[in-house]
Structure formats: structure tokens, C-alpha cells
Amino acid sequence: MYDVIILGSGPAGLTAALYTARANKKTVVLGGDRLGGQMAGIATLENYPGWRGSGAELAEFMKNQAETFGAQVDFVSAKSISGNAENGFVVACDNGKEYSGKTIVIATGASPRKLEIDGAREFMGRGVSYCATCDGFFYSGKTVIVLGGGNSAMNDALYLADLAKEVIIVYRKSAFTRAEAVLRERVEQRDNIKCMFNTDLKKIEAKPDSNDGELLITTTDDNQIVADGVFVAIGHEANTDYLTEDIKRDAMGRLAPCELPSGMFVAGDVYSNIKMQIATAVGTGCEAGMDVVAFLNKMS
């Protein structure tokens, strides 16, 4: 039995693992389908103090640091959690394996909110993407749409502008008030980024008589745009579907520490009412790790 099972290998989970493993607690991280979570998709990190490089590189550094103190990292995803602190928790995973532990840290983060319009599901992976750094290469020299108006949309647009011929940002409000000023300024300075305000997407379909896989996108004001791809950046929802209904969640599926059963802790983007930043994820990971150590020490 492990002392602590950490769900998620983003900055929150890996920070918690560093603290618990360094305190000589037997620690396993169930890292999901990729190391680093959303952080891994950031091409260049500018707002995490002390680091210059990509998110994927930072994730690998954090993983190696936690492993130095004995943490184990397995790339599986939790399907369900049963048990309690008194008798031990059991985490059933997508590969059929079960992990037993005295405590649980939920750090499964958040996933991009899916676009719910005609054609969005049909063209998923064939023109509709939720990861610019994953799929941007396929649109070199082409025209793409970025849907959204926050920091994620700005970063996606700037990344794609280095690859695509033209980037069109479509946003339902009149200005990018949610995005940081430095990102807005960079977007304004790019000649190949165009912004369409006060509109949204209504329908995605194949462009008639196109041999290149072009899409015909209809906006809510009935304009039509021809583009090769659509990159969606309209917010995130917490990855907590595997939890039982008795565990309270807010409207975004996030968790408040005070609402969790004894022996369960939360960190990162799944933590209720915090800013979704790497720095805050690391802070809550530190808090969860230290709380787990104190809880285990009290039990022994």
C-alpha cells in the first residue's frame, strides 16, 4: 500500500509528489495519458519564475526531481476511487490495475471545453483541434481560425501565426478584456492575425468542391469564412467525472478542500476558486503535499 496516490502529472501533482516523496512517504503518481497535463502544450513559458523553456521541458524536470526522492510515476488514468482513510483507498485505472493508498491527492487538472455546434464533433481531428502546439504544424501556410478571447486563445494565435498564412481570431465579445495586455499587444502587432469581434461560430462544414479539405465556417451573424482549421480555446472544465456523486463540485466540476472526505486532498486547476496558472498549481501542490505529510504523521 502506498502512503499517497497522486492523480495527475501536471505541475500540481508533481509538486505534491516532490514534497511527499522527500518526506519519505511512499508515493505514486498516476500521470494520465501524458506527462505535464496542459503545461506540456505550452511552447514557451514566460510567466513561471525561474524557468525559460517549454512546458514539456519543465514537466520532465519536475518529474525527474520527484523521482530523485523515490516517487513512482505510472502513466495510467483513474476510473474510480473507493474506500476511505480508515481502511485505505483503492483507485481503479483504465488499464485494469488497482492502486491502494492511505491518502489521495486529486490533481487531474482541467480539459478544454468542447465546442458544441454543428460539425464540431464531425470534424474533430480533421480540421477542429483543441491543441495548437500539437496540431499547428499541419496548418503551415494555411488559414486557421482561433475561437476564444482569453490568454489561451492569444497564445494559440501567436503560436499559429508563426506557421499559418493567416490567423483569424473569432470572439463573442467586443474586446479581449480577459487576456493579458502583453498578449493583446503582440496580437495587434502581427500582420497575419485578424480579429473578428461580437460574433461566434454557428456551423462547420466541408467547403463544397474543395480538394484540399477546406472548411466553410458560418458565424452567428451569418458570415461565412473559408479556413483550413479551427482551434478552439473557450475555457476549461475540471477532470472530475471519475469521482462519485457524493463528492461536492462547483459548476465547473472543481473541488473545495473543505468539502473532501478525510484523507483526500486537492491541488491545481481542479482546485475551486483559484487562478489557472502554473504558479498557483505549484502552490496548491505544495500545500497538498505538506498537508498529506502532516496527516500521515498524525495517523502513525
| pLDDT (tens digit per residue) in 165-190 | 999 999 999 999 999 999 999 999 99
Whether 135 is catalytic? yes
Going along the chain from its start, the domains and CATH numbers come out as 2-111+236-299 (3.50.50.60), 128-232 (3.50.50.60)
Options 131, 195, 200, 286, the catalytic residue: 131
* Per-residue pLDDT at 210 exceeds 90: no
Options 93, 135, 195, 286, the catalytic residue: 135
Interatomic CA distance for residues 232 and 131, integer angstroms: 8
| pLDDT (tens digit per residue) in 90-144 | 999 999 999 999 999 999 999 989 999 999 999 999 999 999 988 999 999 999 9
- Report percent pLDDT > 90 for the chain: 89
* Per-residue pLDDT at 41 exceeds 90: no
CA distances to 88, 160, 202 from 169, in Å:
49, 11, 15
pLDDT-derived band at 22 (thresholds 50, 70, 90) equals very high
Interatomic CA distance for residues 213 and 227, integer angstroms: 9
- Report percent pLDDT > 70 for the chain: 100
Range of lowest pLDDT (163-167, 240-244, 251-255): 251-255
Per the listing, cell 500539437 goes with: 134
> b vs e for 12-35, b when ≥16 Cβ sit within 10 Å of the residue's Cβ?
bbbbbbbbbbbbebbbbbbbbeeb
Options 33, 94, 118, 134, the catalytic residue: 134
Whether 195 is catalytic? no
| pLDDT (tens digit per residue) in 71-85 | 999 999 999 999 999
